[in-house]
Structure 1
Amino acid sequence: MSVFQSSIAALAVICLGSPVFAANTVKITEGGEGGGPMTLSVDQSTIKAGETTFLVHIDALSEEHEMVLVKMKSADQKIAVEAAKDRVNEKKLNSMGEVSELKPGADGELKAKLVPGSYVLLCNIKGHFQAGMHAMLTVTK
C-alpha cells in the first residue's frame, strides 16, 4: 500500500468513526387576529438536543407576531406577566433569541443550540402570551 493509500485509509477511519450530528428543524405557525383565537403551534413537541433551526410562519392576516425561545428552569416553571405592560418581562427569563415582529404572512428563522430540558416558545406582543400564544418544547439527549 502506498503512502497515499495509507493516508486515505486513515482519513476514512477518522471520518467514519466520528459521530455525525443531525440538525433539528422545528416549524412554528402563529396565527390570530384581534378578538379571535391566538395560536402558536409547533410541528413537534419533543426533539433531540443539538443545533436547531426554528422556521416561523405568521398565518395572521393583519397582526404582527414574534417568537421568543426561552430555556425553562423546569417544565412547571411559571411565567409571570407584567400587568402594566400586558407582556412577559423577557429580562427575567433565559431567552435564547427571538424572531422579532413579523408582518402578516411573513417567515422568519432562529438557530440555537439546545441542551436537554424544557423550553417555551412564546409571542410577547402586548396581550398575545395571555391569549394563548405559547407552546412547550421538550429536548432530550
Structure 2
Amino acid sequence: MKTVSMSAAIGLAVAMLMAGSAGVVQAASLVEVSLWDKGASTEMPMGLAYATPGIDLSKVTMGIKASPGAVKAGEVTFNVKNDSKDTVHEMIVMYLADPSKPLPYVEAENRVDEDKAGDKGEVSELDPGKSGTLTVELQAGKYLLICNVPGHYGAGMWVEFTVDP
C-alpha cells in the first residue's frame, strides 16, 4: 500500500476544489409575476401610465405584481401567470433609459411603442388562467414590466422592477 505525502494530499484537495468550482454556474434569478384585473365588466380608467404627472394609482382596475421586485444583474427568469378570469394579458420587460420620462406611446392604438421603448422580451398574450415563462439576460438598471394589450398600460397595468449590480 502506498502512502501519500501531506503536501501531495493538500495539492490534490486544492485541485479537486478548483475543478469543482469551475463548473459552478450562477443560477438565474426567479421572479413570480401575476397579471390581474377586476374583471372585463369593470370600466378601465385611462391616464394611469408610468410617469404621468398627478397619477392616482388608487383608480387602477388591473395591474402586475412581481415578487421579488429587485434581482441581481444576470440571467432572470420570469414565471408569468394570468390570474384574470376573463381577460387576455401579456408581460413585456422594458428597460427605462430615463426613469423620469414616460415610455413612448401611440395614442391612436392605446399602447406603448415597443420598438422605441426598449423591449427586452415578453410573454405574449396569455388567455385567462394560463402561464408562460421568459428568461432574459438583464443589466443593472430600472425596468418596467407592462401589459401592452390596447388600453391596459394606460389603465395602470405596469410595475417597476429593479436590477441591481
Query: Which of 86, 100, 121 is 2:124 aligned to?
Result: 100
Which segment drifts farther, 106-115 or 67-76?
67-76
Gapped regions of structure 1 (runs ≥ 5): none
- Computed over aligned residues only, the root mean square deviation of the Cα atoms, in angstroms, reads 2.4
1:132 is matched with: 156
Counterpart of 1:13, as a letter, is M
The structure with the largest strand share of the pair is: 1
Task: Kindly tell me the number of residue pairs found equivalent between the two proteins.
Answer: 140
Q: Which structure: larger Rg?
A: 2
Query: Which of 108, 112, 133 is 2:136 aligned to?
Result: 112
Cα distance in 2 between the residues matched to 1:117 and 1:50:
11
Cα distance in 1 between the residues matched to 2:153 and 2:34:
15
2:94 is matched with: 70
**Match of 2:135, SS?**
strand
Counterpart of 1:47, as a letter, is V
Residues 74-108 of structure 1: CA deviation (Å, up to 9, x unaligned):
32231132111011110111111110010000001
**Match of 1:92, SS?**
helix
1:22 is matched with: 27
1:31 aligns with 2:36: yes
Gapped regions of structure 2 (runs ≥ 5): 44-60
**Offset at 1:12?**
2.5
Q: Is the 8 A contact 2:142 2:160 kept in 1?
A: yes
Counterpart of 1:12, as a letter, is L
Aligned residues: percent identity?
33
Structure 1 stretches of 4+ with a deviation exceeding 4 A read: 5-9, 17-20
Cα distance in 2 between the residues matched to 1:76 and 1:21:
32
Cα distance in 1 between the residues matched to 2:140 and 2:24:
18
Cα distance in 2 between the residues matched to 1:59 and 1:16:
40
